[in-house]
Amino acid sequence: MKVIPVPAIAGAFLFEPTPHADERGFFSRTFDADVVRSAGIDPDGFLQDSVSRSRKGVLRGMHLRSGLGEAKLVRCSWGAVFDVVVDLRPDSPTYLGKETFDLSGETQVSLYIPAGCAHGFQALTEYADVSYRIDRAHDPAEDVAIAYDDPELAIDWPLPPAFVSERDRRALPLSAVLQNTR
């Protein structure tokens, strides 16, 4: 498994597995505590695993947690997604940096997103399953949503949004979220 730092987001990493393919299909290790530890991340710090399934065009995000934030390791285990991370940590050298990723079940690449970064994705295939490994218990009172179509973020979503949750439709612009977190 290869560890690839994400230059636009300090502390973010891609974990690229080495699949073993043959006539049956493939086998791939998707998590290795020693490799995660080598990137400076405590693998024992993850407390919860979750999965979402989305239909093509579904857009989820941009989400983050207030308070201590929430670090997560995400992977598209089936299908494909267009994934976006925005660094909202004021003390980060990549503050307001943005990066996009193509994650898919074909590659099984995992993306580590540090606490304090906003995250969202759009399903590109008929169905897409995204697995999350999270370092804190979920507290709905800390949920923060930023408008996925905020011009300040200027995210070039690849498809017209097929479905957006009520929470994401009511999300605040980035400027309001930044004002509330200062």
State the catalytic residues.
63, 132
> What's the sign of the alpha-carbon dihedral 33, 35, 41, 47?
negative
Q: Which two tokens stand for residue 70?
A: 């929430």
Q: Distance between CA atoms of 132 and 48, rounded to whole angstroms?
A: 8
Q: Could you tell me how far CA 167 lies from the centroid of its own chain?
A: 18
Instruction: Dump the DSSP string for 127-172.
Output: EEEEEEEESS---GGGEEEB-TT-TTT----SS--SB--HHHHTPB
Q: Which two tokens stand for residue 128?
A: 């897409």
CB of 71 within 8 A of CB of 98? no
Which helix (H) or strand (E) is 174 found in, with range? helix 174-181
- Single out the residue of 139, 129, 132 nearest to residue 48, CA to CA: 132
